[in-house]
Structure formats: C-alpha cells, structure tokens
Structure 1
Amino acid sequence: MFVKLRLGVCEVCKSGAKPMKKAFIGVHLRRLREERGLTQLALSKALELSPSYVNQLEKNQRPLTVPILLKINAVFGVDVQMFSEDEEARLIADLRDVLTEPPIDEKIAITEIREIAANMPAVGRAIVGLHRRYRASIERSDALAQRFGLTAEEGGAPLQLMPYEQVRDFFYSRHNYIHELDSAAEKLFMRAGLQVGDVATGLKEYLRKKHSVRVFVEASAEIPTTQRRYDRNAGTLQLSSALNPGQQAFEMATLLAYLEHSDALDDLANEAAAGSDETYRLARIGLAHHFAGALLMPYKPFLDAAERMRYDIERLEQRFGVGFETVCHRLSTLQRPDTRGVPFFFVRVDRAGNISKRQSATDFHFSRVGGTCPLWNVYEAFSVPGRIVTQLARMPDGRTYLWIARTVSRAIGGYGTPAKTFAIGLGCDLSHAHRLVYAKGLDLKTPDAAVPIGVGCKVCERPNCAQRAFPPIGRRTVVDESERRFNPYPVE
C-alpha cells in the first residue's frame, strides 16, 4: 500500500516516485497571518522560525518545506489542502474557462492566469463565481425568451444557477468528499454489525429492530415505476423487484440517511442551497446518496481493498456486491485528509454527449461551454459495450490523464422496452497512473503516447484537430476559397 504525502510540496511513495516541484506559498501565508491578526514577529514565534525566514517565505524567496507545513497545521489547525498544487490547478482550469469566452476581448496568456491563481486565489475564485452567475443568467433568460416568444431585447431578468448546478458545485468545492456523512456511515456500519458484500441482509434487520420498518420487495406483473417507496405511517419500505441486492441495499441505506442523519443533511443542504428551496431538496437527495455509498463501501475497508487490488473496478464490484457505476462514484470520493486515495474525476455521459453526472476530486474538468471532446475515450466505450477501454489523454496545458471507460445498461421492462445506456468514465492524473491495474501495457513515460484531447471545441486551443466541430472563441478563422484543409476552421 502506498504511503503518500500530497501537500503541494512533495510526493513520496514506496515506488520511488520523484518529489514534486518546490512550492512557494507567500500569498497564502500572508493571508493566513492577516486573518488571525498576527504580525510577522508573532507568526515567527508561533512557528519557531526567525522573523527574517518568515519574511522570506511571504515574499516567495524561500519554498515551503514539509516540517514548516506541519508546524502551520499544528499551530493553526488549517486544512493543508489550501497549500496544495492541485487546488491551484483547479483554479487555473476554471479561470481558463472563464477568460476564453466572449464578451472578453482580451487574449489573456496562461502565465497571467497562473499569476492570479498563485498570488490572488481569492480574486480568482471571485471571478469564477461571478462568471458562473453571469452564464446562468444568460442561459436562463434565453430559455425564458424562447418559452414566451420574446425578442432578445425583451429576454427576462437574470436568474440564479440552476439547482442541479448549485448542488454539483457544492460537491466540487468539497472535493466530492463529505466528512460528516462519510464518518457517520463508517460508524453505523460497525454499530449495525454489517458485512462487506452482503449489506442488504444486515440493513433489513437493522431497520426492523431500530426503526420498526419492515422491508419487502414489490411483486407485480406490471413494469415497476418506482425503485423505493417509504410509508412512514405504515412503517414499511417497498423496494422494486427490478433491483438487485446491491441496489436494494443502496435504497435501504438512503432511507437510513434520512432517518438517522436528517439534521446533518439539513445543515449541509442549506449550505449548498443559498436560499433556493429546490436546490435544498436536491442537495438532501444527493447527500443521502453520498451517505448510502459510504455505508455500502465504508471508507477504510474500501480504500484498503482498492489499494490492494490496484483499483481494479470489477474486483471491487465482486468484493462489495455493488455495480460498476457505484464503485466508480465511490472511488471519486476517497479524499479524507489523513488517508487519501487516488484523486479521480467521475463522469457519466449518454450517446448524445450529455453529461448527467460529473464529480471531481481533482482539478480536471471539461468546459461548461461548447460540449466535450469527441476524441475522449468515454465516447469510444459505446462502440464496445461492456468492455473497459483505457486511454492516456493529454490536455492542451500539457497535463496527461489515464482514463478508464465502460458502458452500463439497465432495463426495467421486458422485450422491446428501451434500456438506459450510459458510458462511465473515471480519470486520474498521470502521476497516479502507476497505482492502477489499468496502466498495465501503457507507455507512461513517452509524452507522444497520449491522445491529444481538449476541454471542448469552442475553448480548445489545438490548431490541428481534424475532429473540431466549432472554431475557437476569440480567434479569427482563415477563409480561403483557393484551398481546403484536412483540419476544419483554421485560425490566424
């Protein structure tokens, strides 16, 4: 099992991985000091450093070291994630998305964006937040204008982010890990004496004894319309016969989230909702599902198994008695500060390219503008249903990711009833790829082995892509009647 310290400073593991580049944290340290009302002298005494050394740290004349970081953590009790290189990369990715879209007329260099992310992260986050509200307002007013037949000038007042977007951003801000619910689920797993791989049996008995809830499976010749129906007055939980044991366990665990942790769900949902009742209700459901996944796959046993099995998803399915999508989603949540797993990006897409789920424990994200990249292997998965396909993909900023994708299908009716089919994608940074069984046979050391993909055609900077669907925003397209090129939309 790998022993890893990922604090934006170094990365050490038993495999002999090279340390990360030096990190300079002047603006973060200065902001922390000012928030606590300390002078440089007071800070130097608290950290047992000389005043000149602290001054050099704040001016980025000295890099952060692990011993100093541990002192900061011990003295101030701050989350060391605030000094993480990944946090900076996430902000850079978001800012690039914002600053390449009209009506911004300036071409802003990536070096300037990195300066904002490194030295003014609060300003960067404010820019991203303002842009998200601006985009939401434009999209919603356009939708209202179409609905009521209004002209562009009459289009409707700006509105908030859509509720599902607010919930998604809440989980993104938490790195897809909710400690309050995850730790509560782990404790309940032990208290209820549940067994890994057969949680359904234990949960059924626990609900009967602790909450006087009888669980029964619906037996009907009709096509089921609901997966779970709880009758509080009758004390019954009705589950669909279309659910397998793992899915039945998930529904029982979801009910337990509402029965035993309603206050925690309320607090977290209010934090996500920002005053919106619909967002609040959606957030409660999402949080209850997070708890359910954590109960079926308790953190430490699941992380230990994942590391031991080298993140082999199909083996984890067998071990924990749940499906491919459920395992992938759980893998994207293993970000407990003291025991982190591989930081994954999880996505679910349909054949039309619609992303219905997107959760990230890392900095990777596709643009909110202009769709996703057709060269991404998540779409290739539809051509080989049920098989896992792998891909080394390199983004325009040079970062390379290992992607795993496979289709999942589910039908609840009989012959002739349309089934739901999605492609599930799970990706991680190349620096973690050696920990995964899916890296077997891949050339992790040759940059040219990776497939060049982008964040979406409208904001992708790649000049020579035969799959380009739209010209890049902010670039003038070359229009020449005398020649026709293989790559569409050439730019000046």
Structure 2
Amino acid sequence: MTGKLFIGRRFREVRESKKLTQKAFAERLGISLSYLNQIENNQRPVSASVLVLLAERFQIDLSSLSVNDNDRVMSMLTEALADPIFAPYAPNMQELKLVVQNAPGFAQALLNAHQAYRRNSEQLASLDGQIVNWAGEPTAYEEVRDFFHLVDNYVHELDTAAEALAERLGIPDNNTTTALVNHLEARHGVQIRQSGPHENSLRQFDRASRTLWLSPYLPTPTRNFQIALQIAALEEEERIGQIADQAAFRSADARNVCAAGLRNYFAGALILPYQRFLQSARDLRHDLELIATRFGASLEQVAHRLSTLQRPGSKGVPVFFARLDRAGNITKRHSAAKLQFARYGAACPLWNAHQAFEAPSQIIRQLAETPDGVRFLCIATELSKGRGGFGSPRPRYAIALGCEVSYAKDFVYADGLDLTNKGTYEPIGISCRICERTSCPQRAIPPLKSRLNIDRDCRHILPYRISS
C-alpha cells in the first residue's frame, strides 16, 4: 500500500461494470460488506492486498487507478534509489512521480525488495558467517510501523467510536479519571485496585475477579491512558480485529502488534477526543503545555495526538512527531509533513531533538531547512519516564514536533522568530547516508553515491572531500 489511497468512485465503476451487487463484489474480493461500503464512500483507504485482489480477479490494470501524489512514498523511493546497488541510475523527480501515481503497486514492491536487501546485508555484516534465515521479511514492528505510517496515523472507525464514547462520558468537561472509572464499573463490572508496591506492571487485568490492578505510582495522565486502554480491550476487540485482519500482515506477531497499537490509538482518542482536541489546538496555537493542562494529559500524549489529526474534511496542521532515546534511536515516528525520518541509520545530528537532553524540561525551538529547500519550525523537549522512589529506573526521552514554516504562525513557538530571514534557518538532513550537503561539519559517514577525495597534504574538518 503506497499511502492513504481513496478510490471509491473507481471501485464503484468496476463493480457496476461487472453488474455485481456490493455483497457479491465483496465476496469475490474476500472482504466484508461494510469494508467495501466504506471504500466506495471514501471513508476507508484501500489496502495493497485488496488492490492486488482487484487486479487478479477482475483483470484491472492498477496503473489506471488514480492516486494523489504522495510525498512520503516519494521520499522513501528517493532514499532507496540512492543506494549504490542502483548506480548509475538516478531518476529525476518527474520519473518518480510517474511511478508513484501510475504504478503504486510497483513502487511498493520496489520498496519491499530494497528493505529486504538492506536487512539481508545488515544481517550478513553482523552475523559473521553464521547460518541464519535469509528470508528478508520485515519484523513485526517494522510492518506495523509502516501500516500506521501509510494510513496517515489516522484510523477513522476507532477515532469516531472513541469520540462518541467521550461525548457520552462528558470528556473532557467532567473529570476524566472519574468518568473512565465509573464507565468501567457500570458497563463492565470492573473494579480498579492499586497493585502492590513491588509489582513491575503498570496495568494488570484479572478476568476472573473483574479487577484492574494499576501501579500506585502512575501519574494521572498515564493512569487515565491505562484505564482507557482497558476499555478499548473490552469494547473494541471486534473492530480492532477486523482492521488488523484487513491489513493482511505477513505474520501473527505483526497482526498482534498492530492490534496492540490500535488499542493504544483508541485510548488516546478517548482521552483526547478529535473535534474538541482539534479546536483546542487551534485556540491555544498548539501550546503543548496549555493543551495538556486543559485535557489533563501529558506532553507526549498531546504531541502524539497532534500527529493523528488527519480526518478527511477536518484536518489539523500537518505535523511531524518523533520520540528519541539518548542513543538517538527513534522509538516513535510519524510525519504528515514533508519532513521524513531515516529508515536506516541515525537522524541528523543538527536536528534540535538531540539538544533536548542538554536542557531538561525546556522547550527548544529551531528553524531548519532540509536539502530540498523546505523549511520547518521544529520544537523539542526532554521527558523523564521514571516512577517509584529513589533508585528506580528513570528512562529519558526527547519528543520532537514541528511543521512546515508556512504553518508556523499557527504555533505559539514561532512568536519572536524571524521566519523571513534565510540566515535563521539551520541546515538539517534526513541522515548522513543520503544527505547531499558536502560541507557539514557534523557528518558521520560519507553519502552513498559520492566519490571521496583524500588529500594527504591537507586536512579539513572532515578527513575527505566529497564530489558527486
């Protein structure tokens, strides 16, 4: 699947040309009637597996299906084709657009093949001749990460269901904790108790006694999220299972990881209901701390929710969101903006997300420009996940959020910054391996498709010079 592909009119035309009812058409494709109805009404994107079935069973040329230009797939293809294995071929942007628009299945197949090649290469380099399985299939987490990435991190059925429940419970007007606790007891007969002081789990549900055990050390936002997560597990399993099944993952592990992610999605949408949250973000100019206070949420919950505001007809500002650990590993990522995160290797060291660890609890601002000339407002802050007393582990993370500079005035963090002065923008890239900048003093490794000139009589900041 190359992205959020809405082709309801085309699906309906194919069905009507075959003189089939929706029920018969759905049975031929092996999908539910409700899913087909949502596709035809552009309420759900079409998955890659359904596209393949459409082509096979009705002799449809996939290139005839119109699709909007997808910046994320373009970025992924650009990065993949920068690999030396494709040298000396260097497609221009027009060629890439033609592939993405007219042959989305081929584009995804190429990306899958390149990902498999990269995984095999990395295994070969690290395992030093050991006998391994060279199937090259993506890990469960990689599959699920791509699933959420390619549906724009927005799941309509769960989002609207969570919003409807929040409306019935009076969230956020009523106390969120009280509303969730009362609903869990009234609807499901579940009592909430505090677990013992030495228990390691945040949440533990005992089905026999209908008891939800929660750690006594959870901050209120985390406690609310865990209760909402239990509500998702009790009320939304059928819907979640259908969504996970329709994604047609390669393994049961991936399907289960996706189901867990969808429960998390519902929980976040319940405590931060879409329209109320969207309006608050606009009214408060995306001030993370004020939004968090209004909803009784954490900064990370607010930042993550901002990245999901992609409801058709009621979208928020397209933002990117990421969470990093101190080693620079990106543990959460999503981008509705043009800024994309590296699929291989570390993120650009000039990105302000890394600086957040140097200024705990402060919000750091940055105006940045990528090699393609796109400019961004970037904000980052450090968070501590510690719980318990002295000596307990305290994992530290940085969260990063931002938007293209054309939306910057919608953010309070742009106040006082000179958005028109080119000199105020710091050059950043996706990762060193594909960055085109030849004079970056922070470069860790040479770019893939460049020649290196080494002068034994002259040393600059880098031990080599880069030539195209």
TM-score with structure 2 length normalisation?
0.83
Aligned match for 1:127, one of 107, 123, 126: 107
Among 79, 84, 95, the residue aligned to 2:77: 95
How far off is 1:34 after superposition?
10
Q: In percent, how many aligned pairs have the same letter?
A: 37
Q: 1:339 to 1:488 in 2, by over 3 A?
A: farther
CA contact (8 A) 1:345 1:427 kept: yes
3-state SS of the aligned residue for 1:425? strand
Q: Give the conservation status (yes or no) of the 8 Å contact 2:100–2:107.
A: no
Are positions 1:139 and 2:114 aligned together? no
- How many Å apart are 1:232 and its aligned residue? 1.1
Partner Cα distance (1:210, 1:468) in 2: 57
Aligned: 1:192 with 2:169 = yes
> CA offset at residue 410 of structure 1?
1.9
2:354 corresponding residue in structure 1: 379
Distance, in Å, in 2 between the alignment partners of 1:195 and 1:79 is 27
More moved, 478-487 vs 429-438: 478-487
- Aligned equivalents of 1:291 and 1:78: distance in 2? 21
CA–CA separation in structure 1 for the residues paired with 2:298 and 2:272? 12
Structure 2 residue 104 is matched with structure 1 residue 104: no
Note if contact 2:333-2:341 (Cα within 8 Å) is conserved in structure 1. Answer: no
Report what 2:309 is aligned to: 334
Q: Deviations over 1:175-234 (max 9, x none)?
A: 1111110000011112233444721111111111110111122242x2x41000011111
Give 2:129's aligned residue: 150
Aligned ranges for residues 342-353 of structure 1 at < 5 Å? 342-353=317-328
The answer on 1:203 being equivalent to 2:185 is no
Contact 1:214 1:235 in 2 (8 A): yes
Q: How many angstroms does 1:453 deviate by?
A: 0.5
For residues 180 and 376 of structure 1, the distance between their equivalents in structure 2, rounded to whole angstroms, comes to 35
Q: Distance in 2 between matches of 1:461 and 1:125?
A: 29
Whether 1:183 and 2:147 are equivalent positions in the alignment is: no
2:93 maps to amino acid: I
Task: Give the alignment's Cα RMSD to 1 decimal.
Answer: 2.7
Closer, same or farther in 2 for the Cα pair 1:443/1:487, shift >3 Å? farther
Shift of 1:264: 1.1
Match of 1:251 among 220, 226, 230: 226
Aligned partners of 1:83 and 1:246: how far apart in 2? Answer: 43
Q: Alpha-carbon deviation of 1:411?
A: 1.4
The answer on 1:448 being equivalent to 2:423 is yes
Letter of the structure 2 residue corresponding to residue 355 of structure 1: I
Which residues of 2 match residues 75-474 of structure 1 at below 5 A?
A: 78=42, 87-109=69-91, 112-118=92-98, 120-123=100-103, 126-136=106-116, 138-139=118-119, 142-143=122-123, 146=126, 150=129, 156-196=133-173, 198-220=175-197, 222=198, 224-474=199-449
| Residues in 2 aligned to 1:357 and 1:405: alpha-carbon distance in whole angstroms | 14
In structure 1, C-alpha distance between the alignment counterparts of 2:182 and 2:100, rounded to whole Å: 53
Letter in 2 for 1:356: T
Distance in structure 2 (CA, Å) of the matches to 1:432 and 1:450:
15
How many Å separate the matches in 2 of 1:274 and 1:388? 38
Is the contact made by 2:341 and 2:347 (CA closer than 8 Å) also made in structure 1? yes
SS of equivalent residue, structure 1 residue 438: helix
The Cα shift of 1:432 comes to: 0.9
Q: In terms of mean alpha carbon deviation, does 458-467 or 186-195 score higher?
A: 186-195
Aligned-partner Cα distance in 2 for 1:489–1:114:
33
Taking the aligned partners of 2:420 and 2:67, their CA distance within structure 1 comes to 24
Cα drift, residue 425 of structure 1: 0.3
1:159 Cα deviation from its structure 2 partner = 2.8
CA 106–345 in structure 1, closer or farther in 2 if over 3 Å, else same: same
**SS across alignment from 1:459:** coil
Q: CA deviation at 1:274?
A: 1.6
Task: Tell me the CA shift for residue 345 of structure 1.
Answer: 0.9
Structure 2 residue 461 is matched with structure 1 residue 486: yes
Is the Cα contact below 8 Å between 1:167 and 1:273 reproduced in 2? no
Q: CA deviation at 1:272?
A: 3.5
Partners of 1:272 and 1:144 in 2: CA distance? 30
Contact 1:390 1:402 in 2 (8 A): yes
SS in structure 1 opposite 2:331?
strand
One-letter code of the match for 2:84? P
Give the paired residue count: 419
Shift in CA distance, 423/259, structure 1 to aligned 2, threshold 3 Å = same
The runs of 5 or more residues in structure 1 that have no matched partner are: 1-27, 39-75
Deviations 1:395-448 (A, max 9, x none): 111111111100000212322333100000001111111111011011112233
Residues 376 and 453 in structure 1, CA contact (< 8 A), matched pair in contact too: yes
Q: C-alpha distance in 2, partners of 1:142/1:456?
A: 17
The 3-state SS of whatever aligns with 2:85 is coil
Aligned-pair CA distance for 1:156:
3.4
Unaligned 5+ segments in structure 2 are 1-5, 16-39, 46-64
Would you say the 8 A contact 1:230–1:238 is kept in 2? yes
Deviation at 1:133, TM superposition (A): 4.2
Counterpart amino acid of residue 446 in structure 1? N
Q: 1:34 to 1:270 in 2, by over 3 A?
A: closer
Structure 1 residue 488 displacement after superposition? 4.6
Q: What is the SS of the residue equivalent to 2:72?
A: helix
Q: Is the Cα–Cα contact under 8 Å of residues 344 and 362 in structure 1 kept in the other structure?
A: yes
Contact 1:273 1:283 in 2 (8 A): no
Q: Secondary structure at the match of 1:390?
A: strand
